[in-house]
Amino acid sequence: MDTAILDRSIPEIAALVQRGEVSAEEVARAALARIEQRDGALNAFLTVQAEQALEAARALDARRARGEALGPLAGVPIGLKDALCTEGAPTTAGSKILTRAAAGAARAPDPARGYRPPYDATVVARLRAAGAILPGKCNMDELAMGSSNENSAFGPVKNPWDRARTPGGSSGGSAVAVAAGMTPGSLGSDTGGSIRQPASLTGVVGLKPTYGRVSRYGLIAFASSLDQIGPFAQDVKSAARLLEVIAGRDPRDATSLDAPVGAYEAACGRDVAGLRIGVPEEYFAKGLDEQVGAKVRGAIDGLRGLGCEIRPVHLPHTRYAVAAYYIVATAEASSNLARFDGVRFGLRVDGERGGKADLQALYGATRGEGFGREVKRRILLGTYVLSAGYYDAYYLRAQKVRTLIRRDFDEAFREVDLIAAPVSPTVAFRLGERVDDPLSMYLADVYTLPASMAGLPAISVPCATAPAPDGGPPLPVGLQLIGPALEEARLLRAAYAWEQISPVRALRAPLA
């Protein structure tokens, strides 16, 4: 089967299906063929719903044959991070806690035996209404906790640029689905960098919208004041179209913003001359790989060549972002994850105390077996910082620091329109390299956490490749652009302008 249709942009695929030049079923079959061909070596998909995807594609073709208008994602295959609820389809969030144990003492986790929600997440419902085809659910760090996708209960995702390396996390499967050409777009979630970091490490576009810009209804929560759903795509205009579909007020999410959805795709192509771009010195300090820093500065010079005005800015509280984030996020996680108790859904491991069945023992046995090491670490940290005697010393103080970080951005945006910075301090690191060093792993998100703490929109767009310090093939580097709240259109305008002159615009992962 010719699968080249998947190498086109999302607007191009949708237009071909809308005109009847290619059928939605042909596109769906191409995506399923690519997944079968490529995913065995990458582990990006946890489950594939082939029959459901083909059935939806045939229904779309029948609608077109009747002369009905099709939506803006007509026939476009979109991968879904497995933290997004899908009606009747397995949803595991990468965790054993949301699977029914297989028979036998080993209780081997199987994503096909995952929790099956009775409803779709709002973003999933909006994708379906727009005509998207949903071929499967993508692998992720367990319950979105991780920066390398090595915390998944179902094995790590491999980076298609070098399968010995991480694709980043926690939305690593969603990033790899796009980077490996298995789907033209996908959805992930970003709590502290979980869209932008894997986008940078795999060479695709990844956008974290303003907090509240996209409904979180149906997203399995990690940290409710930080989580935000956003798109991955091969190009900026495709990401813009995806955002237009999923953005907007949702009465089922009290945190979603009642603000008009911008003309994001139309913003791509508008002139950027005169845009003031701030460059924070705090993002180019010790810890940034020299080659990565040079490539990002080169991209900033490219924006200067397009007529943008480049100015230095200061974000002095950036250095506290990692510490504050890992207090706020773990505190919220310890509360959110209390619902996984072995009683209502997912894994159940019966426990006994004194020779009798005991509810507390049930909780302990289920959570002890169902949660992985990193999730347990964060639950314990979060419970500690919320405990009596420590709340003021840790959680309250972290929230005050969060306010200071937001004020830094407010002050900077009085002088500039956007901020440009690296996404990750390094290119993709090797699998296993940091799993026993949590602090080193947490520092992988040092440049993405501040925008998350401030609730601001930010995008990663490929800007170059750079050699890995430990050898191997050249690996992608992302340019991060950060904007004021609800200024996604401005972000996309600048990202698209850069993309048109990018030396890696047409570069794709060297798949065998």
Residue 23 is among the residues annotated as catalytic for this protein = no
Task: Look at residue 103 and give its three-state secondary structure.
Answer: coil
CA distance to 176, 183, 209, 333, 344, per residue, from 232 (Å): 10, 10, 12, 25, 33
- Pair of tokens at residue 473: 């093939």
- Pair of tokens at residue 285: 């300090």
For 410-437, what is the HEC assignment? HHHCCCCCEEEEECCCCCCCECCCCCCC
Distance CA 155, CA 141 (A): 9
* Strand partners for 230: 188
Residue 137 is among the residues annotated as catalytic for this protein = no
Who contacts 61 (Cβ-Cβ below 8 Å, separation ≥6)?
Answer: 23, 24, 25
| Alpha-carbon dihedral 265, 266, 272, 276, rounded to 10 degrees | -70
Tell me the residue type at 191: T
Who contacts 491 (Cβ-Cβ below 8 Å, separation ≥6)?
Answer: 207, 418, 457, 458, 459, 481, 482, 483
Number of residues written out for the chain = 512
**Which residue in the list 9, 23, 152, 170 is annotated as catalytic?**
170
CA distance to 90, 91, 252, 495, per residue, from 120 (Å): 12, 11, 12, 31
- Pair of tokens at residue 192: 């502290």
**Which residue in the list 194, 200, 452, 460 is annotated as catalytic?**
194
Q: Specify burial of residue 389 (Cβ count, 10 A radius: 0-12, 13-18, 19+).
A: exposed
Check: CB of residue 488 under 8 Å from CB of residue 209.
yes
Residue 186 is among the residues annotated as catalytic for this protein = no
Q: Return the active site residues.
A: 81, 170, 194
